[in-house]
């Protein structure tokens, strides 16, 4: 039996989970990561779109082409984060924008419909899913994207508060990992729904601000958001620069009664995209 290995699935899920994984699984085995930089991975991957909350490309690709790694870790041959084929060996595929591509994950019309909606959401554009009945979706991935967007746009958490969970042993690795992503995002939000302060209950809701750095922002070294988060503690703030997560203490935040300044340690340039996710009292 042969296998197709897509390093993007390993890399982007691992990168998400190491910075934002909140659910506790004693036996959760993170993907095996090759010793290569993310800069070696092509941009615009639909897999990055799925797992990167700060995805900033205006398009995505779902086609793949053969890519030769200099070596592969032994663990890769023992893990099932790959797709079986009928001949022997392991082939590595990465995203391509070429018209001569392999549709490794069998992305079809309804996948594209929901991926397009997800792209709009990631970019901060107006988006709704009112025209899509989840019961008409026949595939697991678009249903999971629908539930994620319904949660983030419409504040609908019904699926996550019942025992009618859809995951089955026949799900593909991509479907399993993205559903884990969706559940983890739901958990992060739901645990912050209410906070007890001086015996009073404070209800919180997540918001996101997508900011394009202006010339004056670049000169000043910070951006200003015309809003005030409930908390600026590092576990209640998500910050990314051009799609890359920035962890505390590599930034500072200061708020007054009407606005918030965000100052990354690294230099910011005109045209950079800074995404800030935070909680607001409701």
Q: Region 112-141: what's the mean pLDDT?
A: 93
Query: What is the average pLDDT value for the chain, to the nearest integer?
Result: 80
Q: Could you tell me which residues come within 8 angstroms of residue 27 by beta carbon, excluding any fewer than 6 positions away?
A: none
Instruction: Take residue 77 and report the two structure tokens written for it.
Output: 């041959």
Has residue 270 got a pLDDT over 50? yes
Please name each of the domains of the chain with its CATH number. Answer: 2-190 (no CATH), 195-281 (2.60.40)
- How many C-beta atoms surround the C-beta of residue 65 within 10 A? 15
Q: 184: burial class by Cβ within 10 Å (0-12, 13-18, 19+)?
A: middle
Q: Region 83-93: what's the mean pLDDT?
A: 56
Write down the pLDDT at residue 74.
Answer: 52
β-bridge partners, 204: 281
- Which 3 state secondary structure label does DSSP give 252? strand
Q: Region 203-228: what's the mean pLDDT?
A: 87
Q: 1: burial class by Cβ within 10 Å (0-12, 13-18, 19+)?
A: exposed
Going by pLDDT thresholds of 50, 70 and 90, the confidence category of residue 178 is very high
- Contact status, residue 119 vs residue 48, Cβ threshold 8 Å: no
Write down the pLDDT at residue 165.
Answer: 66
Query: From residue 189, how far is each of 41, 182, 240 by CA, in Å?
Result: 30, 11, 18
Has residue 213 got a pLDDT over 90? yes
Write down the pLDDT at residue 69.
Answer: 58
Write down the pLDDT at residue 130.
Answer: 92
Return the higher-pLDDT residue of 20 and 219. 219
The span from the CA of 120 to the CA of 266, in Å, is: 27
The pLDDT > 90 percentage for the chain reads 29
pTM of this prediction exceeds 0.85 = no
Write down the pLDDT at residue 282.
Answer: 65
Lowest mean pLDDT, pick from 26-30, 223-227, 245-249: 26-30
């Amino acid at each position: 039996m042969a296998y197709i290995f897509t390093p993007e699935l390993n890399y982007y899920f691992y990168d998400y989970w190491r910075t934002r994984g909140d659910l506790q699984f004693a036996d959760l085995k993170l993907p095996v990561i090759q010793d290569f930089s993310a800069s070696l991975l092509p941009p615009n991957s639909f897999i990055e779109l799925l797992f990167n909350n700060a995805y900033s490309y205006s398009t995505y690709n779902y086609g793949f082409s053969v890519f030769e790694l200099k070596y592969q870790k032994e663990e890769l041959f023992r893990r099932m984060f790959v797709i079986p084929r009928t001949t022997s060996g392991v082939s590595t595929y990465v995203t391509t924008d070429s018209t001569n591509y392999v549709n490794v994950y069998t992305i079809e019309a309804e996948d594209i419909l929901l991926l397009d909606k997800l792209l709009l959401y990631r970019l901060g554009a107006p988006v709704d899913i009112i025209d899509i009945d989840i019961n008409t979706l026949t595939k697991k991935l678009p249903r999971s994207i629908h539930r994620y967007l319904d949660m983030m746009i419409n504040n609908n958490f019904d699926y996550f508060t019942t025992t009618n969970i859809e995951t089955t042993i026949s799900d593909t690795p991509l479907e399993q990992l993205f559903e884990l992503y969706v559940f983890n995002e739901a958990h992060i939000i739901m645990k912050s729904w209410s906070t007890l302060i001086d015996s009073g209950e404070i209800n919180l809701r997540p918001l996101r601000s997508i900011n394009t750095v202006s010339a004056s922002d670049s000169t000043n070294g910070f951006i200003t958001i015309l809003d005030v988060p409930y908390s600026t503690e590092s576990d209640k703030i998500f910050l990314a620069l051009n799609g890359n997560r920035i962890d505390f203490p590599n930034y500072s935040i200061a708020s007054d009664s009407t606005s918030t300044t965000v100052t990354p340690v690294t230099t910011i340039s005109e045209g950079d995209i800074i995404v800030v996710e935070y909680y607001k009292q409701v």
